[in-house]
Structure 1
Amino acid sequence: MKVRILGCSGGIGGCHLRTTSMLVDDDILVDAGTGVADLSRAQLARIDHVFLTHSHLDHIASLPLLIDSVSDLREKPLRVYATAATLAIIAKHIFNWAIWPDFSVIPSRENAVMQYQTIDLGRSVRLGERTITALPAEHTVPAVGYQLDSGSGCLVFTGDTTVNDSFWPVVNRIANLRYLLIETAFANREQRLAEISKHLCPSMLADELHKLTIKPEIYISHLKPGQAELTMAEIQACASDFRPTRLQNNQIFEF
Structure 2
Amino acid sequence: MKVRVLGCSGAIAQGCRTTSFLLDDNVLVDAGTGVGDLPLEEMARIDHVLLTHSHLDHVASLPLMLDSVASTRMADNRPPLQVHALPQTIAALRTHIFNNVIWPDFASIPSADTPLLKFVPFVVDERLHVGGKMVDVLPAVHTVPAVGFAVHADKGCWVFSGDTWRNPAFWERVNKLPVQMLVIETAFSDRERELARRSLHLAPASLAEELDQIGPGRRFPVYITHTKPAETGLIMQEIQRFDETPNRANDVRHDIRWLSAGDTFEL
Name the TM tier (shorter chain): over 0.9
Which of 224, 236, 246 matches 2:258? 246
Look up the SS of the partner of 1:87 in the other structure: helix
Calculate the TM-score normalised by the size of structure 2. 0.93
Q: Paired residue for 1:40?
A: 39
* Larger Rg over CA atoms: 2
Instruction: Normalising by structure 1, report the TM-score.
Output: 0.97
Question: Does the 8 Å contact 1:186/1:223 carry over to 2?
Answer: yes
Q: Which runs of 4+ in 1 moved over 6 A?
A: none
CA distance in 2 between counterparts of 1:197 and 1:76 reads 37
Instruction: Please tell me the residue identity of whatever aligns with 2:211.
Output: L
Equivalent runs, 1:132-171 vs 2, <5 Å? 132-171=135-174
Q: What are structure 1's unaligned runs of at least 5 residues?
A: none
Distance 1:62 1:120 in 2: 23
Q: CA deviation at 1:246?
A: 1.1
Residue of structure 2 equivalent to 1:210: 212
Q: Give the secondary structure class of the aligned counterpart of 1:180.
A: strand
Equivalent residues of 1:130, 1:151 under 8 A apart:
no
Q: Which runs of 5+ in 2 are unaligned?
A: 245-252
Count the aligned residue pairs.
Answer: 253
* Aligned residue type for 2:214: L
Residue 128 (structure 1) shift: 5.5
1:199 paired with 2:201, answer yes
1:148 & 1:99 partners in 2: Cα distance? 32
Partner in structure 2 of residue 115 of structure 1: 118
> Do residues 93 (structure 1) and 96 (structure 2) align?
yes
* Deviation readout 1:193-239 (Å, 9 max, x if unpaired): 00000000000000000000121210000010111011011011113
Q: Is this contact kept in 1: 2:155–2:180, CA < 8 A?
A: no
Contact persistence 2:220–2:255 (CA under 8 A) = no
Q: 1:106 aligns with which of 109, 119, 139?
A: 109
Q: Which of 219, 227, 232 lines up with 2:231 in the alignment? A: 227
Q: CA RMSD in A?
A: 1.0
Tell me whether 1:125 sits opposite 2:128 in the alignment: yes
The residue type paired with residue 173 of structure 2 is: V
Percent of residue pairs identical: 48
Report the 3-state secondary structure (helix = DSSP H, G, I; strand = E; otherwise coil) of the residue aligned with 2:49: strand
Three-state SS of the structure 1 residue aligned to 2:106 is coil
Q: Quick check: 1:129–1:151 contact (8 Å CA) kept in 2?
A: no
Q: Map 1:48-59 to 2 at 5 A.
A: 48-59=47-58
